[in-house]
Amino acid sequence: PQLANQIAAGEVVERPASVVKELVENSLDAGATRIDIDIDKGGSKLIRIRDNGEGIAKEELALALSRHATSKVHTLDDLEAILSFGFRGEALASISSVSRLTLTSKTAEQSEAWQAFAEGSQMDVKLTPAAHPQGSTIEVVDLFFNTPARRRFLKSDKTEFTHIDEWLKRIAIARSDIYFTLTHNSKLVRQYRPANTDIQSQQRLAQICGRAFAEQALSIACEHDGLSLRGYLQSPQDTVISDTSFFYVNGRLVRDRLVNHAVKQAFAEQGVEHQPGYVLMLTLDPHQVDVNVHPAKHEVRFHQSRYVHDFILQAIQSALLQMPD
Ligand code: ADP
Ligand code: MG
């Protein structure tokens, strides 16, 4: 099983940023409202994620580290209607197979916290009592220590940290209700305070996409027949080239050409040639979309992609029409 875990790790764990992604998504799935991320040396030395979510019960700590152990999918119907980030139950097993991983957690029911430690191929998980408030801390030390080829593939600490920072920006925009901090080599680099009002969301947008983008952006809010699109679109008058192109489907950041195409088309119709920046969140019936296309889950497949495309196009067209001259 260890070899299988390491092979799975090759698909799930490309670099420190992919570890951060999997762990933060677990924290979000656990209902955390605050997530603190500490990184040392671009993540190759340490990745520590601390959350105030529901925690993992003592009896489930060892299980959480084993492959295909997921608490999130119970039936085939669950699998067809995934709303949580995780569902494969392989992230923790994969990460622990290529690092020294410590999991510390406490649930609301427990009076004390417990800690499990797993190191590379040694999967005999030891449980010891620990001090921790409700929630979980996952510490990943010496990533790829036992897979030297992968370790050599890592870029400089600065580059690896930038990948983490960029990924966090994308999540922090979509989840402006969550308090995030990001520390690198003990220095606080980002602090995203929770935004519960429109003004606070706007502030977070400015923090991440720049003040100009946030001040001029068109708001999108469109609903039709079970589909909903919300977010921000760079104003056609704003000619600054923006690299903000964040698209989320049911809260999940995805790569998809469909939205780019729709945005471009709507702008071209207005005689604007450049590709505008956007932050767009699409919500639809989870049965209408497959998220199981790729293990790292960056891609989705819409059952009616033409229909979704046209909905996005119309939402943007009407936002452009309502724009004050
Ligand atoms: P998946 O997310 O696909 O279920 P993972 O390997 O990422 O699989 O996690 C395995 C299990 O460990 C999860 O299903 C969940 O029950 C538990 N778990 C992991 N991280 C956390 C966390 N931060 N808080 C609470 N439970 C967690
Ligand atoms: Mg997961």
What was the pLDDT predicted at 16?
A: 97
What was the pLDDT predicted at 74?
A: 55
What was the pLDDT predicted at 149?
A: 87
What was the pLDDT predicted at 162?
A: 98
Which residues, at least 6 apart from 54, have a Cβ–Cβ distance to it below 8 Å? 30, 31, 107, 108, 134, 135
Residues of the chain below pLDDT 50: 79
| CATH superfamily, domain at 2-192 | Histidine kinase-like ATPase, C-terminal domain (3.30.565.10)
Q: Of 208, 232, 221, 164, whose CA–CA distance to 23 is shortest?
A: 164
User: Is residue 89 within 6 Å of ligand 1 at its C-beta?
Assistant: yes
How would you classify residue 185: left for phi > 0, otherwise alpha for psi between -120 and 50, otherwise beta? Answer: left
What was the pLDDT predicted at 27?
A: 97
Is the ipTM here above 0.95? yes
Give the CATH fold of the 211-321 domain: Ribosomal Protein S5; domain 2 (3.30.230)
What was the pLDDT predicted at 325?
A: 63
The overall pTM is greater than 0.90 = no
* Ligand 1: centre distance to CA 223 (Å): 33
What was the pLDDT predicted at 1?
A: 54
User: Is residue 90 within 6 Å of ligand 1 at its C-beta?
Assistant: yes
Query: Which residue lies with its CA nearest to atom 8 of ligand 1?
Result: 89
C-alpha distances out from residue 220 to 33, 108, 243, 293, Å: 26, 39, 19, 28
What was the pLDDT predicted at 62?
A: 86
